[in-house]
Amino acid sequence: MKSILLVEDDPEISKLLNLHFSSQAYNLIAAANGKDAMEEVLKNSFNLIILDITLPDTNGMELCKVFRKNNANIQSFYQNPLLSPLLQQPGKRCNHRKK
């Protein structure tokens, strides 16, 4: 089963996306802030990370840079402009690769 990390501080959006991705046979793990997201990335492997642009403790682009710096194996990042409806037209791809 493919795993997705959703970094989203709005519980209603998280709930909606959990329902959507679960029905598509994805394992969705949600984190409500950057700190929790980093903990999940350190202990789990994800096929996709969906990042909210604004979070209580950071922003999605900064978090993406940290993920890339610390783990070059993470393949895809998308920022959540209200999920561009449900990833049919993905948001920005974060390409901050570890150098």
What are 11-65's pLDDT values in tens digits? Answer: 998 998 899 999 999 999 999 999 999 999 989 888 888 888 889 999 888 888 8
CA–CA separation, 33 and 20 (whole Å):
21
Residue 1 lies in a domain: no
Q: How many domains does the chain have?
A: 1
What six digits make up the tokens of 12? 């209603």
Q: What is the pLDDT of residue 71?
A: 66
Note down the domain range covering 51.
6-80
Give the CATH number for residue 63: 3.40.50.2300
**Bigger pLDDT: 14 or 79?**
14
* pTM, two decimal places: 0.76
Residue 87 lies in a domain: no
Asked if residue 51 lies in contact with residue 9, where contact means CB atoms within 8 angstroms, the answer is no
- Would the pLDDT of 72 be above 60? no
- Would the pLDDT of 77 be above 80? no
